[in-house]
Amino acid sequence: MRERICSGCERIFEARKFENLKEMIKNTKEKFGDETAFKFKSDNNGEIITMNYNQYIDEINALGTALISVGLKDKRIGVISENRYEWEEAYLTIACGTGIVVPLDKSLPDNEIISLAERSKAKAIFFACQALEFYRDLPFEQETISVLKKFLNCLPLDVQNSITQIQNKVVFWIPDRHCDSPLLKAMFLIVINRHAATIRYSSTYSESTRTIIPVGLYAMNGLWYCPAYCTAAEQIRVFRVDRIKEIIEEKPYPKGKYPIPASIQEYLEKTDVKNDYHMKIQLTDIGIKRCESECLLAGGLQRFSTGGGMIDMDINHAALEWVADYILPFGSDATVLEPVELIKLMQQKIYSLYQQYCGAE
């Protein structure tokens, strides 16, 4: 190999050939171990971190050992992130003998990311927290390891151990609703592609066919929900994804024709939602505590200094049935004051229960 020193002058030095990346990395450590390999800014405090080749290659070896220990030897492993040190470390770790690296461009459309992840059959994936902001769901198959473990794989081992200890003591628990949502992935793609869908939907008391234009998807208390403009009702309704029994048709819809929010965030934060009734429910101290855990009612919850409190808020017609079912088990700890429609609904349910258990006496 020739190196040009100045015009008309060249210096010849020997170029070494390497059989693979692993051999090249090993040689780099031997020759330049104490030299600076990277300088990057810490995410925590903005401090500039300097890392030499010895430290860098030791981290590659440690990460490779960790990946092999969880059964990822010779497996396909994805990497998706913005430009940062951890991306380079993860990429070289996989490429240096651990497995097969699957680089994914975070700027690709969501449906292309999903397609690449599925076709590559990656068993694990490295990703950065910032990259997750661009996705409403993650396209991992059920047989892959958990998202948290995928994220842990790209952290230093001491940090992994600390997080594992926390996992053993703290959990963000969501109850198992025993409600499968086999069409969640299909609905996700409909949302991403901004299509309309004709669905067969099973509500509490009936089954119907509806054409909807989804706003987005959100998860709450173990269930998935899809707020969408219903062409039959001519307003936005919230559909539980596990109750969608069939997607009959999917097609693009005319942009601007239907009054739907631009994003799921806008929908969830929107305050000018059409409400049909003003609701007041008087609560005891026990009733207050029970309502605190329900986000829909907590927004209208008021406490009295003398004890007890009140739910004072506007609701739409579609929520009446849910409120009645939720409040009924409160017994004397909740008294509906208004609207009249909710009081009548409560009376019907109480009478039905009375007939079921006391009607034969």
In this predicted structure, the answer to whether residue 1 has a pLDDT above a threshold of 70 is no
Q: 149-187 as b/e, with b when 16 or more CB fall inside 10 Å?
A: ebbbbbbeeeebeeeeeeeeeeeeeeeeeeeebebbeeb
Average pLDDT for residues 322-343, to the nearest whole number? 91
Residue of 87 and 199 predicted with greater confidence: 199
Do strands 76-80 and 100-103 pair parallel, antiparallel, or not at all (unpaired)?
parallel
* CA distances, 72 to each of 61, 79, 86, 119, 155 (Å): 14, 14, 18, 18, 16
Cross-strand pairs, 283: 309, 334
Nearest to 40 by CA among 88, 2, 72: 88
Instruction: Check: pTM over 0.75? Answer yes or no.
Output: no
Kindly indicate whether the domain formed by 277-358 is annotated with CATH number 3.30.300. Answer: no
In this predicted structure, the answer to whether residue 89 has a pLDDT above a threshold of 80 is yes
Task: Please write the tens of the pLDDT for every residue from 289-300.
Answer: 888 767 677 778
If you average pLDDT over every residue of the chain, what do you get?
77
Task: Please write the tens of the pLDDT for every residue from 27-51.
Answer: 888 888 889 888 877 655 667 888 8
Q: What is the pLDDT of residue 128?
A: 58
Q: How is residue 283 annotated by DSSP?
A: E
CATH topology of domain 17-167: Rossmann fold (3.40.50)
Task: Please write the tens of the pLDDT for every residue from 187-225.
Answer: 888 887 889 999 999 987 788 999 999 998 887 766 788
